[in-house]
Amino acid sequence: MASSSSSPTEENDTTEVLRLVISSTISLLTQFESSLSSSAPAEPAPSLSNSSEILSSPALLRTAPTLIRAHTTKLSLLLITPPFTPSAIVTVLRELSTGPLPVLMSATELLCNAPNVWSRTFGGEVKRATLRLCRELQGLFGAIQPPGVEEEEKGKKGKKRDGREEGEEGDAAAQPNLTATGVVWEACDALILLEKQGVAGVVAGKAQEYHDLIEDAISELREWMRESDEDDEDEDEVHDDASAADEFEQLFQPSEQKLPKDNEQLNAQLEATLKRLTLVKMLYKALIKRRLKGFPVPGQDGLGDKDDAIRRIDGVRRLDEVMQDLKDVQEDTDGLADAFYSLDGERVAACLDECLGKARHAAVSMRRSWSGEEDEFGSWLEKWIDMIDDKK
């Protein structure tokens, strides 16, 4: 009776195919990553009158990662469940390479190359999330160990290795694959979340992040002012009780200096800055609620009409501009705090002017609704601009 088991030659052939498929799949991901990482400017979007493919591309951010997640789950189970079956793993990798991976790449390119429809902000987030998934998949596929390595390990039965007995080897070997699979799942879920949030949800989330960082900077400046007050009150006692050990410990403390109470100009600058940064923080909250969360969904705002399409392009341009302003203001706030810690009054004044100038520009750009009409919130922004311009 003929044996049903594979011959050594067949097993070697299957193993070699697996190695080649792993290599080709990783190469495909590397090409995707290289293409996405390119610094070349985005290609012009196709005509808005024939943009159904562009409008449907975000849906692929849900379907493609969902399929990738399912395939990596199947792959993980094949890797940790004996016997090791190269042919089954080859099938999964080929399905990934010819199905959801190219689909995800196409969707990402469509979104990134149509900034006048989806905005540079949303396209940038999609690109970062796709790059992350490509890298995590490379890590998972690169960790696959074809037969040969396992065969060598079988010769070590009964021996301790890395402090583990033979019975513990299976669980230990499964851990890297399970960990890598979990990271891939997280990357897939991040892309699915982007599709769920849409442009409005993503930009509102980014603006909230900037708001929170500004809030942290305000809290730190207030704490610095409070600690400086307390340090001045206790200065004599600390000086009398100072020891060599205390002086040595101070070498490892942050380099920021105390706020000198006799520097009236810097103290006045700090008080004025905290008031204005509080107004800036208020602006972020208002813009998130009244503008960013209400950004119209592409395809549901008369995109087929030429005049409406022109208004949408203008709206997307304004969106990207205000998001850049909000990002710059947050970064300027960090520079402003650093200027205070350095006790550099001139730099404080320059940083504050730049910070408030960009915040003011953001407010001015959002005075009209996304459809270009005047509304109640525009009037509120006018009042905010008057408050930020008031030097008192």
Q: What is the tens place of the pLDDT at every residue in 302-342?
A: 544 556 677 788 899 999 999 999 999 999 999 999 999 99
SS3 47: coil
Report DSSP letters for 134-159, one per residue: HHHHHHHHHT---TTHHHHHHTTTT-
Residues 203-254 have pLDDT tens digits of 999 999 999 999 999 999 999 988 876 655 555 454 545 555 555 454 444 5
Query: What gap in Å lies between CA 171 and CA 150, rounded to an integer?
Result: 14
Mean pLDDT over all residues of the chain?
A: 83
Q: What integer pLDDT is reported at residue 235 of this predicted model? A: 53
Report the pLDDT value the prediction gives residue 170, as an integer from 0 to 100: 47
Interval 347-377: pLDDT, tens: 999 999 999 999 999 999 999 999 889 999 9
Task: Label residue 241 left, alpha or beta by phi (over 0 means left) and psi (-120 to 50 means alpha).
Answer: alpha
Phi, psi of 231, rounded to the nearest 5 degrees: -65, -40
Calculate mean pLDDT across residues 8-15: 68
Task: Name the residue with higher pLDDT: 286 or 38.
Answer: 286
pLDDT of 162 strictly over 50: no
Q: What is the pLDDT of residue 157?
A: 46
pLDDT in tens, 244-274: 555 545 444 455 678 888 788 999 999 999 9
pTM given for the model: 0.81
Could you give the CA distance from residue 160 to residue 176 in angstroms, rounded to a whole number? 19
pLDDT of residue 264: 86
The pLDDT, as a whole number, for residue 160 is 42
CA pair distance 75, 81, nearest whole angstrom = 10
What one-character DSSP code corresponds to residue 119? -
Is the preceding omega at residue 83 within 30 degrees of 0, hence cis? yes
Residue owning tokens 């001045």:
232
Kindly report the CA angle at 149 between 91 and 146, in degrees rounded to 5?
A: 10
Q: With contact defined as beta carbons under 8 Å apart, do 207 and 287 qualify?
A: yes
Section 29-48 average pLDDT = 69
Residue with the larger pLDDT of the pair 151 and 192? 192
Residues 6 or more apart in contact with residue 210 via CB below 8 angstroms: 284, 326, 327, 329, 330
CB atoms within 10 A of CB 35: 13
CA distance 97 to 276: 53
Residue 127: is its pLDDT beyond 90?
yes
In the three-class reduction of DSSP (H, G, I as helix; E, B as strand; rest coil), residue 8 is classed as helix
| pLDDT in the model for residue 54 | 75
More confident residue, 245 or 87: 87
- Tell whether the model's pLDDT for residue 57 goes beyond 50: yes
